[in-house]
Amino acid sequence: MPYSHCTERLIIRPAQLRELDELMSVANTWENKVLTEGEAFTEDYFIKAIEEGDLPPIPNASRDHFDFYSILKKDTLEIIGFMEIYMGYPDDKTLWIGMFVIDSSQRRNHYGHEIISNLNTLYTKLPFSKVGVGVSLKNWRGLRFWHKMGFNTLFNVAGDIECTEETHALIGLIKSNKLV
């Protein structure tokens, strides 16, 4: 069940349908999303994530294990990002970060580091020994960020075999031990 959490400078709370315009605004700052992932964000993505969950392709995937969060600055309550969390993918010991986006105008403020570093507080009572993330192989900024955060164990590569402007692939990275 989703719940709110605060870091030093941010509020992480369940996203709401009334925030669609703000979430789309943040999503649209990812200039090369179509290049890196093959498709743009749509309002339907957010509606599904908030109402039904963007569930992983595993047997018995459950909305009860999925959380979709808005990320707000404490001082202004401005939405500056969003993230998906699935508890139990690709296995029951892994907390999965499905999507993690920070408004491009807010980069270099270390908000991403602050959020990921505080996941252990957010999910402190849950039995996860690993955190995982899928990153597009064309998303160099994302690959550098996750590497710096200690996500250095490769567990999967999925997608197209050839690398062209029209093809897409993801790399699955895991950070082991107790949460970040």
Per-residue pLDDT tens over the stretch 26-59: 999 988 788 777 788 999 999 999 999 999 989 9
Long-range contacts of 63-67 (CB under 8 A, 24+ apart): 64/1, 65/89, 67/2, 67/14
Residue 144 lies in a domain: yes
Domain housing 37:
5-175
Residue 38: count of CB within 10 angstroms of its CB: 14
Residue 180 lies in a domain: no
Residue 112 lies in a domain: yes
For the chain, the domain total comes to 1
CB 3 within 8 A of CB 70: no
Is the pTM higher than 0.75? The answer reads: yes
CATH code of 75's domain? 3.40.630.30
Residue 128 lies in a domain: yes
